[in-house]
Amino acid sequence: MKIAKFILAAALLGGMSVQLTSCSDDDTPVAYYPVSVTVNLPEEITSATILDEEYLFKNVSTNEVKRFTSAADIELTEGLYDITYTAHVLMANGVETTMRAMSQSVRITSGENAVNLTAYNTIEADDLIIAEVFNTGTTNATGAQNRDSYIKLYNNTDKVIYADGLTLFESDFSTIQKYDYTPDVMPTHVVVRTLFTVPGDGTRFPVQPGEYFLMCDRANRASENSFDLTHADVEWYDESQVASQQDTDNPDVPNMDKVFSYSRSITILDQSQRAFGIARLGVSAEQFLEDYAYTATYDLVTAAGAFTMTKKDCYKLPNEWVVDVVNISPRDNYVWNVTSPALDCGWSYVAQNSSDKTRFFKGIRRKMLYLNEAGNPVFKDTNNSTEDFNARVTPSEIELQGTAIDADGTPCTTRTYDGVTPIK
Amino acid sequence: MALAVAAPASGLEADTAAVVTVAQRIARHSDMMRTMAREAYDNPAVRQWEQPYDYSAISADYDYSGGNRAVDVQRGKGSAAWGFTADSCIKHKSSTLWGSASYRNGRRRGVCWNESSDADMIYPYFTADSIGGDMRMETYSFAGGYADHNDRWAWGASASYDAGLYYRNVDPRPRNTTGRLDIAAGGAVRIGNSDYHAGISAGYRKYKQSCDIEFVNELSDNRIWHLTGLGTHYERFAGLGYSHYYNGHRWGATANLFPSSRRGAVASVEVTSFRFDHILTALNKLPLQSATDNRLSASAGWLAPGRVHDFAATVSLTHGKRIGSENIFGDPAASIYPQLGSLSLYRHIVTEAGVNLLWQWRPERSALLSVNPRVEWNRSDESYADPHRRLLLSSVAPAITVKGARTIGGAWHAAVSVDVACTLPVDNICELPYNGSIPAGMQSTDIRRYDILSRSHTLAGVRADISRAVSDRYALGISVSYFRSSYTQGVHADCVDASLSFIF
């Protein structure tokens, strides 16, 4: 009898165990939730015909990308997504153009989800584009940096463009540290901390179709592991207020006009975590400094609590003045874009992480699409830096001059249009 | 010397007294009948009936395992380690006291795509890099227990602590420290006037593994990934979280039916529930992943020891389900990621069933021939929900062990056993489509494992134990074993073990 009781108790325990280990839910443990996407079109396109459209949902956690060609029947698992919308549009005047929208960190939860996207018409800018950013520079054998960073612009059009008045800027916000700034001006402005303008009266620096315009930190001669930059078109020179840190000036290379720099000494391009761009200021530099100062507050959350901080000593640059911009972040530390998706829907990288010592001797270069009839490369420009740039490639000046590709002095033996496509 | 072969009902003390010399105890200890009801001994109250004699040993041993190719690269090609072990089980009147301690030092070889340790405990949430390599290891373990009984009741408790240090002195340099504390307590009641006891026990485990990965060469490829199973990983935190830890708890309970005479029916049911979290220390203790592993094991059998022939038969069934969940986080504010939700994406269902038979024959009092045929059916079904991936491996594995043992001249005892086993695939599914955004090496680990384990493979080995009593109380023993596993496409693995023991 007692054995029977024991067997009964064991059976109960076993029964509980079966319940514990059985497929208590079902064999499809992941639920998909409907997502309703509304794209707000720009005014000039509302009467146009959408030829085709594409919705890309990139799961931030897994990097898995799901593609839809219609807003109908979009279903996703719960998670955080970066959404990119692209549509080819036939406008009323017969011109075909591309329209884009982007929204980052969109949360998809259980139940119904509604997403609103604001689309921008990406009509090609009729100006210079950023062809290359070499912000990290090179190092010598002892590891000291050579201060040979540069940014190279390119005339991707079929007409002469003058670089005079073009302003090089660096964002103040970091792509690896996100705060909720108040006021939030990012939809309409880029918050910047460095601005240098190409001098000239409008005709001093013509850039022919298929030609480059080279802006560098120091237009120095070649040195150990570095290359010659005395042929640069302009250099950004600082009159440092710190005696121990003085800039060097090549008198044969014109200096850019310093509008503002966060640094009291010398301006060094950020090594990895800012956006770099070019703009044409709609007002004078003095007027800009007077009218476009930006002050914001944000909450800094630490283990000791949340503190309200104030951001100052930076300026807001209207988006409509921006000619081109590229967001750069260490690959593993990217958090957000610091410019509006109207300017850049993606980002590129040189460093693999924030402490990457292999970032030197590498830059980002815009992808070449094809060679035109004149034999000039035509570069990709979709306002999406992820798509437009080859990340972490050998800079063009290193290739052209055959200088070192690493601190050991290994000479470069390759020549490419864009860091990937070889020059035949 | 006479060998005590049959204990009277509840005659534990009498049985203990009957086995007096060390040679007798060695012969008794190598008897395969002792291990036929091993599941019941998870209840410390029942453990006191595992052996009715004192037996202690201090051993030094060396073991090696390795092959020409790893079956599962995340667990490595093999290992080589030396160590010391002390085991003791002491009877005093109605009490039983047991304990053990061990130290091992060695190297786990050829581990790739996994820099974490205790892989079977924390899978699939390994932290990995593309380099891997050998890993040095030092492990310590201490265990002890006490059990007692009277005419009606039996009770017992046990505790054990296992610690490990795993590291590598070249890049990448993981340094993992593991700690596992197990405690259990149980009781049993005698059923009527029979020698059957019905018992229950409860156990608790605390597990922690702290991991740090360092790269001294700043110019090397130093990216790490947090794997999520079947060739997937948590992309968002790739390259982050070089300091992390696993924190787990396990609860368990058993119910047992066991005859104190070790003659008659035995039955055990065990249920366990293990849960662990994988936390990135470097990101403000971000709870990246968690898994829950529920497992049910049941076994039943019959033990029939005799004067000339022994028979035993057991059947066993294990069913387990591990569900892995990945937490979803919003945008960080000052490096603190708010948790938005959780998705259960990984699932592993394990089912095992087996039949184990034993026949032993004593042609004379000092000789014993054992034949142990058995067959086991295994089914391992791993899946990842989105993107869909699945790996199903199932097989039937018949095996046989034949063992001959003889006591010679009252001082020597020799035993030789031969093992032969084969694993025959039954039903296999591999749905692991290539994903261009995931490193190829990461994806190939499971494909390589499938390629090998989805084909039939065999195991053959031999083991020899020789001991010599130097007095009635003390003996020296040597054991050596060699096993070879042969897989498809010429893949093979060898295991060698040698030990020297002082037995008392």
- The predicted model gives A392-417 an average pLDDT of 95
Whole-number percent of chain A with pLDDT over 90 = 59
| CB proximity A258 to B under 8 Å | no
pLDDT tens string B336-379? 888 988 999 999 999 999 999 999 999 998 999 999 999 999 99
Q: Which candidate, A131, A130, A134, A132, places its Cα nearest to that of A362?
A: A134
Q: Is the pLDDT of residue A286 over 90?
A: yes
| CB proximity B235 to A under 8 Å | yes
The CA distances from residue A130 to A211, A309, A361, in Å, are 12, 34, 19
* Chain A residues touching residue B234 (CB < 8 angstroms): 61-62
Question: Which candidate in A1, A7, A20 is best for mutational testing of the B interface (most B CBs within 10 A)?
Answer: A20
Q: Are A198 and A142 in contact (CB under 8 A)?
A: no
Report d(CA A16, CA A8) in Å as an integer: 12
pLDDT tens string A351-367? 998 888 899 999 999 99
* Chain B residues touching residue A109 (CB < 8 angstroms): 340-341
The CA distances from residue B359 to A146, B265, B305, B312, B414, in Å, are 81, 16, 9, 7, 19
Query: How many CB atoms lie under 10 A from the CB of residue B413?
Result: 27
Q: Are B163 and B143 in contact (CB under 8 A)?
A: no
In a domain, B356, yes or no: yes
CB contacts under 8 A, A 322-361 vs B, are 331-333, 335-336, 352-353, 355-358
Where do the structural domains in chain A lie, given as residue ranges?
32-121, 129-401
Q: Are B418 and B401 in contact (CB under 8 A)?
A: yes
Q: Label residue B118 left, alpha or beta by phi (over 0 means left) and psi (-120 to 50 means alpha).
A: left
Domain count, chain B: 1
Q: Rounded to an integer, what is the distance from CA B424 to the centroid of its chain?
A: 22
- The predicted model gives B10-24 an average pLDDT of 60
DSSP one-letter string for B205-261: EEEEEEEEEE-S-TTS----EEEEETTEE-GGGTT--SEEEEEEEEEEEEEEEEETT
pLDDT band of A269, cuts 50, 70, 90: confident
When mean pLDDT is compared across A51-65, A93-107, B298-312, B479-493, the lowest value belongs to A93-107
Burial call B242-260: b when 16+ CB within 10 Å, e when fewer: bebbbbbebebbbbbbbbb
Q: What share of chain B is helix, strand, coil (3-state, %, to 5)?
A: 10, 65, 25
Which residues form the domain of B77?
12-503
pLDDT band of B287, cuts 50, 70, 90: very high
Q: Are A279 and A128 in contact (CB under 8 A)?
A: no
Domain range A32-121, CATH architecture: Sandwich (2.60)
Predicted pLDDT at A193? 94
In a domain, B4, yes or no: no
pLDDT tens string B216-263? 887 777 789 999 999 999 999 999 999 999 999 999 999 999 999 999
* Chain A residues touching residue B239 (CB < 8 angstroms): 331-333, 352-353
In a domain, B3, yes or no: no
Inter-chain touch B223–A352, beta carbons under 8 Å:
yes
In single-letter form, the type of residue at position B388 comes to H
pLDDT tens string B189-199? 999 999 999 99
In a domain, B293, yes or no: yes
pLDDT tens string A159-215? 999 999 999 999 999 999 888 899 999 989 999 999 999 999 999 999 999 999 999
Q: Could you give the ipTM of this predicted complex?
A: 0.77
What does DSSP assign to residue A320?
G
In a domain, B48, yes or no: yes
